[in-house]
Amino acid sequence: MLAVLAAHAGLAVLAGLLAPRLGPRAFYVAALAPLSGVVLALAAAPDVLAGRAWGREVPWVPGLDLTVALRLDALSLLMLVLVSGVGTLIFLYCASYADRDSPLVRFAATLTAFAGAMVGLVLADDVILLYVFWEATTITSYLLVGLSDEDRTARRAAMQALLITTLGGLAMLLGLIVLAQQAGTTRLSEIVAEPPSGALVTAALLLVLLGALTKSAQVPFHPWLPAAMAAPTPVSAYLHAAAMVKAGVYLVARLAPGFAELSWWRPLLVSVGIATMLLGGWRSLRQHDLKSLMAYSTVSQLGFLTAVAAWGSAESAVAAALLLLAHGFAKAALFLTVGAVDHAAHTRDLRLLDGLGRRMPVLAVAATVAALSLGGVPLLLGFIAKEEVYTAFAEAEGTFATVALAGLVLGSVLTLGYAGRFLWGAFAGRPQPSGAEDLDAVPAGERAVAAQDVHAPGAGLVAPVVVLAAAAVALGVLPALLDPLVSAVAAPYPGAGEPVHLALWHGVTPALLLSVLTLALGVALVAARRRWGLLQRSVGRVLPQALDADRTYDAAVYGLDSAADVVTGRTQSGSLPRYLGVIALSATLLPLGGLALRGADLAPGVIVDRPVQIGVGVVIALAALAAARTSSRFAAVLMLGGVGYGVAALYVLQGAPDLALTQFLVETLSVVIFLLVLRLLPRRFPVQTRRSRLRRAAVAVTVGVGMTVLTLAATSVRVRPSVAEEFVARSKPEGGGLNVVNVILVDFRGLDTLGEITVVLIAALGMSSLVLTLRRGRPGADGPHDAVRREEPEVRAP
């Protein structure tokens, strides 16, 4: 499994390197990556289908308990077939589709990297690893959607996809961490096997599901998916049909065995899924762009998948597995069809495509098969899947199951409707203009592209579609081939018993009757195409625009931008005093707040230790106040010196002669240096307004009072005797000195002193560079620069 991931990484680099030389054929090389995934799937299949999952663990960051834990079970196998199997076909298709002038290096490398991330995602068993691959697909998807980076629409679409899915991704990370904490393990398989419970777990699951729902474009996060159609069509086929958008469904299916019995799980997820299905189907029926039609169809089908996967019974798991396969095959085939049509006719507008089916019969037949499979027509895989869905919901108990079933049937009718619309739009001839209003008629001023205007698409564009359609037929006629896979997928669910037997004919069951009903209504919907279009338009006019999720997204992004602007403008005023004031206040008020919550004894030990301290203290206070008040620089510095000497006196009184000595020396030196610099500066400080003075004073008084309180508290909260006892005891025998402070400085805490000396050295370097550079740069000064300039030989004209 690691080898497959490594192959993807290596081939991503290789394809990027080869693309300039080989052109689009680099995709043939890159196709080896998904092919390695197929090989892995085939190799693992016998074990996995027998119920023995493949596992692999490599320590990653042992200190953080992070492991590269991979696990290949039946669900992963199913996803691997989709990701790598469909992926291989899409890579081959790309080799015929991509132009030489498209950014091939980025295209090939990113697509291969994406395939690798997707394989990693479905194999990951460690939740953190899962998240890493999850975001890797988000980032590669961002790059692929924005592949044509000169295009404004593409950039916006890429950004929208990125913002929405990372929003979900971050929520998911938070949820996964909490979930892992509660479960006591980061292994997904173990979490699901022994699900934790509690309010915190519910919150964590909701966060994780937010990630799943954004990734799978569920209402109300769906708008990014249709927008992402700005990507090249094979990218859409891969990311937005077969692989990436399924990640959310995959995660739901992963968690369902453990958590589907939670009271809120089914109502929430199944409702969201059905709402998405209906909305996607409704919107799809109004699109003119074939690719947008497919995009909304995907939204709709993802809703379908989410609802079925979330139901979480053994029967629905079988149905979800079949549906995943059926949709992956059919939708990828249809997207690739759109690409081939676009390639041939240079338009995807179904109003302009006139009778292309005659020109490309093979493609038309294959696409028809795929579309009918999507719609759930018998003899195709989609029918088997839909039958299983209906059975699972019809056999489930409770009103909610019935309501959900009704929603699913309605959604399936819409599915047939847009599948028919797609075929009619892509391949059928345009109707003769009649008097009746037809929203799908050729727009005024445009000319339809007729069959004779286009060239037939090359075999490279048609073959993958045919393969996918053939798979849908083969599995639809012989569904028993899938028995082992779906049985294994359903095994972890409670109530899974004997192996599943899929068959074309189950006898007359409620599911069959519902299928017949769906087909009848669907055909009616296709037949009434024109009138239905007008009806939808009238309904659309009635609905308020606030319901448009895309507008909400725009408003949210704009609001966020302006809010950030305002916050930055307010907090980042550029004024150093204001910044320092905020820091000073926070540094005082936060500890005081903590103190107030905790409570502390503020009573001082003594009023005064030695009476002389009062006199010295008063002198210091007066000098400090004078230093703050005076507007003369000179006086301020002298007052500062006064404070320094006063403090030195306090040191003496406190019993710290060393400190006092140092303080005297430093203070004297400081005053001298200060005066040296002050010689140059103006004598007086600039005048400040009364208001700013008061504001500063208010902050200052707050800090002063706060620090007094903290000083008193600091002495009363002491619980242990000073470690200095030991220093005193060891000073002579071990340090060989009688002055304990000195021994501490050079011996016990010698590293502190080393740091101190370093600071002094760096400050000295800084000072000399500041002062000396200045002297050199001053115009007219006799610095080395001037000397050099004078010696420069003059250039003379010959």
Please, which of residues 570-599 interact with another protein by CB under 8 A? 570, 572-577, 580-581, 584
Segment interacting with another protein, rule: CB under 8 A, options 55-63, 262-270, 410-418, 682-690: 682-690
Distance of CA 44 to the CA centre of its chain: 31
Asked if 556 touches another protein (CB under 8 A), the answer is no
Asked if 687 touches another protein (CB under 8 A), the answer is no
Segment interacting with another protein, rule: CB under 8 A, options 61-69, 111-119, 301-309, 746-754: 746-754
Q: Nearer Cβ to another protein, position 396 or 584?
A: 584
The first and second tokens of residue 377, run together, are: 């027509």
> Length of the chain, please?
798
One of 52, 683, 778, 785 touching another protein (CB under 8 A): 778
Asked if 738 touches another protein (CB under 8 A), the answer is yes
Q: What binding mask, one character per residue, do residues 408-447 give for another protein by CB under 8 A, x or -?
A: ----------------------------------------
Segment interacting with another protein, rule: CB under 8 A, options 119-127, 209-217, 348-356, 654-662: 654-662
Q: Are 379 and 282 in contact (CB under 8 A)?
A: no
Nearest residue to 387 (alpha-carbon basis) of 269, 519, 499: 519
In whole angstroms, give the CA distance from residue 234 to residue 338.
9
Q: How far is CA 18 from CA 109, 409, 781, in A?
A: 10, 49, 61
Segment interacting with another protein, rule: CB under 8 A, options 13-21, 98-106, 225-233, 727-735: 727-735
Segment interacting with another protein, rule: CB under 8 A, options 47-55, 57-65, 521-529, 635-643: 635-643
Asked if 718 touches another protein (CB under 8 A), the answer is yes
The first and second tokens of residue 421, run together, are: 């619309």
Q: Nearer Cβ to another protein, position 548 or 658?
A: 658
Asked if 508 touches another protein (CB under 8 A), the answer is no
One of 42, 200, 556, 760 touching another protein (CB under 8 A): 760
Least separation in angstroms between CB 556 and another protein: 15
Asked if 402 touches another protein (CB under 8 A), the answer is no
Segment interacting with another protein, rule: CB under 8 A, options 208-216, 301-309, 418-426, 757-765: 757-765
Q: Nearer Cβ to another protein, position 481 or 701?
A: 701
Q: Are 328 and 241 in contact (CB under 8 A)?
A: yes
Could you tell me if residue 655 is left (phi over 0), alpha (psi between -120 and 50 degrees) or otherwise beta?
left
Instruction: Provide DSSP, 198-262.
Output: SHHHHHHHHHHHHHHHHHTT-TTSTTHHHHGGGS-HHHHHIIIIISTTHHHHHHHHHHHHHHTTS
Asked if 728 touches another protein (CB under 8 A), the answer is yes
One of 724, 776, 781, 782 touching another protein (CB under 8 A): 724
One of 153, 197, 402, 568 touching another protein (CB under 8 A): 568
Asked if 620 touches another protein (CB under 8 A), the answer is yes
Residue 648, H or E segment: helix 633-654
In whole angstroms, give the CA distance from residue 29 to residue 42.
21
Asked if 741 touches another protein (CB under 8 A), the answer is yes
Residue 43 contacts by C-beta under 8 Å, 6 or more apart in sequence?
Answer: none
The first and second tokens of residue 253, run together, are: 């299916």
Asked if 521 touches another protein (CB under 8 A), the answer is no
Q: How far is CA 242 from CA 83, 247, 331, 646, 715, in A?
A: 7, 10, 7, 79, 68
Q: Nearer Cβ to another protein, position 406 or 698?
A: 698
Segment interacting with another protein, rule: CB under 8 A, options 147-155, 298-306, 485-493, 655-663: 655-663
Instruction: Provide DSSP, 16-45.
Output: HHHHHHHGGGHHHHHTHHHHHHHHHHHHHH
Q: Are 748 and 727 in contact (CB under 8 A)?
A: yes
One of 666, 683, 781, 785 touching another protein (CB under 8 A): 666
Q: How far is CA 617 from CA 272, 331, 614, in A?
A: 72, 84, 5
Least separation in angstroms between CB 786 and another protein: 17
What is the total count of residues that contact another protein (CB under 8 A)? 110
Nearest residue to 297 (alpha-carbon basis) of 203, 229, 395: 229
Asked if 788 touches another protein (CB under 8 A), the answer is no
Q: 11-18 — which CB contacts under 8 Å span 24+ positions? A: 11/112, 12/109, 12/110, 12/112, 12/113, 12/116, 13/109, 15/108, 15/109, 15/112, 16/105, 16/106, 16/108, 16/109, 18/108
Asked if 478 touches another protein (CB under 8 A), the answer is no
Segment interacting with another protein, rule: CB under 8 A, options 96-104, 234-242, 377-385, 664-672: 664-672
Q: Nearer Cβ to another protein, position 501 or 732?
A: 732
Could you tell me where the DSSP H helices lie in 441-482? 459-477
Asked if 406 touches another protein (CB under 8 A), the answer is no
Place of tokens 């090389």: 29
One of 343, 440, 678, 786 touching another protein (CB under 8 A): 678
One of 43, 535, 556, 729 touching another protein (CB under 8 A): 729
Least separation in angstroms between CB 669 and another protein: 7
Residue 52 contacts by C-beta under 8 Å, 6 or more apart in sequence?
Answer: none
One of 99, 194, 734, 756 touching another protein (CB under 8 A): 756
Residue 760, H or E segment: helix 750-777
Q: How far is CA 297 from CA 276, 303, 411, 470, in A?
A: 10, 10, 10, 21
One of 766, 776, 781, 785 touching another protein (CB under 8 A): 766
Residues numbered 376 to 395 that lie near another protein (CB under 8 A) are none
Q: Name the pairing type of β-strands 449-450 and 353-354.
A: parallel
Nearest residue to 71 (alpha-carbon basis) of 239, 193, 242: 193
Segment interacting with another protein, rule: CB under 8 A, options 29-37, 96-104, 350-358, 629-637: 629-637
Asked if 647 touches another protein (CB under 8 A), the answer is yes
One of 441, 745, 783, 786 touching another protein (CB under 8 A): 745
Least separation in angstroms between CB 546 and another protein: 23
Q: What binding mask, one character per residue, do residues 335-364 give for another protein by CB under 8 A, x or -?
A: ------------------------------
Asked if 734 touches another protein (CB under 8 A), the answer is no
Asked if 543 touches another protein (CB under 8 A), the answer is no
Asked if 194 touches another protein (CB under 8 A), the answer is no
Asked if 554 touches another protein (CB under 8 A), the answer is no
Least separation in angstroms between CB 552 and another protein: 20
Least separation in angstroms between CB 303 and another protein: 37
In whole angstroms, give the CA distance from residue 113 to residue 10.
9
In whole angstroms, give the CA distance from residue 67 to residue 554.
40
Asked if 559 touches another protein (CB under 8 A), the answer is no
One of 681, 683, 734, 785 touching another protein (CB under 8 A): 681
Residue 102 contacts by C-beta under 8 Å, 6 or more apart in sequence?
Answer: 147, 148, 232
Q: Nearer Cβ to another protein, position 446 or 565?
A: 565
Q: Nearer Cβ to another protein, position 439 or 703?
A: 703
Nearest residue to 71 (alpha-carbon basis) of 54, 83, 48, 51: 54
Least separation in angstroms between CB 593 and another protein: 18
Residue 539 contacts by C-beta under 8 Å, 6 or more apart in sequence?
Answer: none
In whole angstroms, give the CA distance from residue 751 to residue 793.
54
Residues numbered 688 to 717 that lie near another protein (CB under 8 A) are 688, 696-697, 699-701, 703-705, 707-708, 711-712, 714-716
Q: Nearer Cβ to another protein, position 528 or 580?
A: 580
Nearest residue to 187 (alpha-carbon basis) of 57, 373, 38, 336: 57
One of 524, 590, 608, 781 touching another protein (CB under 8 A): 608
